């Protein structure tokens, strides 16, 4: 086993152990992938202010999200098909998150179902909902999440229509993979993955199959979702979903200050500043570059989270110092999941917490609550380059 020191080490191991189509599904953006790349590269433009001769004892990375105590300002983001990165992937990720003390969010497009997660965990988890044209399916999914004890609904707003991801088309992405000659050759090099999948019955989209009208089998994420994502999603429909849910709601996919103000006026418990990991509107600005404007627009009227591009504890610190309450990670934990299963997710969380803690100390702070723009060196023009 190689020595794992950072998230990038997990990424390289993930590439070796997971089938190519599922690694590519994780590690890709839409069209030219400009936004996908800039989500990470823009973090590197922000520098940190070192402080010395500061008492560093008594530090804590703990904070709260939606009133829930968390081990660090971080949650696991909803990721479609995580159960194809390794067998029963969503269950393994949820268990790792529960033990570590951070929230886990289950995707609508997961391989393991809402009921699967509830049966294998004891801590309340969050459920992410895509709004479909099938209103009975939407109502049913909300009711199932309630029965499972989900403590928050994460409503995704930026996927009314699916952005094109070239790698998925070239790989003929399906779950499970079609047994073509090309796939069989690739799977022959992934014996651990194949053995795991042979031991589970969870091979397709279990939140969808048997719950949506006329869906008895669903291999292709793209074919069904292209037909079912609701292009007419608007604030009126969001209000109806809020009323059906009746609990805490996070609005995901906010990247514009006006939308952020509207979400705060709407009464969202939190907003998630996100460009869907660069998988939707290619050419949109990175989440970290848009964060300051959104913080300025919303203030403390709702909790502000950030995802897209977070690969280190330093990234988490930068986002929190710029006004986010916490970050969500998708790829960073999927690398661990694909590399080492449940242990890999735990390893990713340990890496991020250690990086965050040490960086916080060297910046002269003892807790996330003390972080602010005084800890950062933000280059001139970073926030208004495109104003």
Calculate the CA dihedral of residues 369, 102, 25, 117 and round it to 10 degrees: -160
217 CB burial (10 A radius; 0-12, 13-18, 19+): exposed
* Residue tagged active-site, from 14, 192, 276, 374: 276
14 is catalytic: no
Buried residues in 257-278 as b, exposed as e (16+ CB within 10 A): bebbbbbbeeebbbbbbbbbbb
Q: Are strands 126-129 and 105-106 parallel, antiparallel or unpaired?
A: parallel
- Beta strands of the chain (E only): which ranges? 47-48, 63-65, 68-70, 74-76, 105-106, 126-129, 152-156, 249-254, 270-273, 303-306, 326-329, 376-377
Count CB atoms within 10 A of the CB of residue 386.
8
Residue 48, classified by CB atoms within 10 Å of its CB into exposed (0-12), middle (13-18) or buried (19+), is middle
As annotated, the active-site residues are 276
């Amino acid at each position: 086993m190689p020595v794992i020191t950072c998230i990038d080490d997990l990424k390289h191991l993930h590439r070796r152990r997971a089938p190519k189509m599922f690694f590519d599904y994780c590690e890709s953006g839409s069209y030219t992938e400009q936004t996908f790349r800039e989500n990470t590269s823009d973090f590197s433009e922000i520098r940190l202010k070192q402080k010395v001769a500061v008492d560093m004892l008594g530090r804590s990375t703990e904070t709260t999200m939606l009133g829930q105590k968390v081990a660090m300002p971080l949650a696991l983001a909803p990721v479609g098909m995580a159960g194809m990165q390794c067998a029963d992937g969503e269950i393994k990720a949820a268990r790792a998150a529960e033990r570590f003390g951070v929230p886990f969010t289950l995707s609508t497009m997961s391989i393991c179902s809402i009921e699967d997660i509830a049966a294998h965990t004891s801590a309340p988890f969050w459920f992410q909902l895509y709004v479909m044209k099938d209103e009975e399916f939407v109502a049913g999914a909300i009711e199932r999440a309630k029965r499972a004890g989900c403590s928050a609904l994460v409503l995704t707003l930026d996927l009314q229509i699916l952005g094109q991801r070239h790698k998925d088309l070239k790989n003929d992405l399906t779950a499970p993979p079609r047994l073509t000659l090309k796939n069989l050759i690739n799977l022959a090099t992934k014996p651990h993955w194949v053995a795991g999948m042979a031991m589970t019955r969870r091979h397709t989209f279990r939140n969808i199959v048997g719950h949506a009208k006329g869906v008895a089998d669903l291999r292709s994420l793209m074919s069904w979702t292209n037909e079912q994502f609701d292009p007419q999603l608007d604030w009126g429909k969001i209000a109806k979903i809020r009323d059906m849910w009746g609990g805490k709601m996070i609005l995901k996919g906010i990247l514009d200050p006006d939308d952020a103000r509207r979400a705060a006026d709407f009464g969202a418990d939190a907003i998630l500043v996100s460009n869907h990991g660069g998988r939707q509107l290619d050419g949109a600005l990175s989440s970290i570059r848009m964060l300051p404007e959104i913080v300025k627009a919303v203030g403390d009227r709702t909790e502000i989270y950030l995802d897209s591009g977070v690969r280190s504890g330093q990234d988490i610190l930068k986002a929190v110092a710029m006004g986010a309450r916490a970050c969500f990670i998708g790829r960073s934990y999927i690398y661990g999941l694909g590399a080492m299963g449940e242990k890999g997710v735990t390893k990713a969380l340990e890496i991020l917490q250690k990086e965050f803690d040490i960086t916080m100390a060297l910046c002269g702070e003892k807790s996330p609550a003390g972080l602010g723009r005084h800890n950062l060196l933000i280059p001139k023009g970073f926030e208004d380059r495109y104003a």
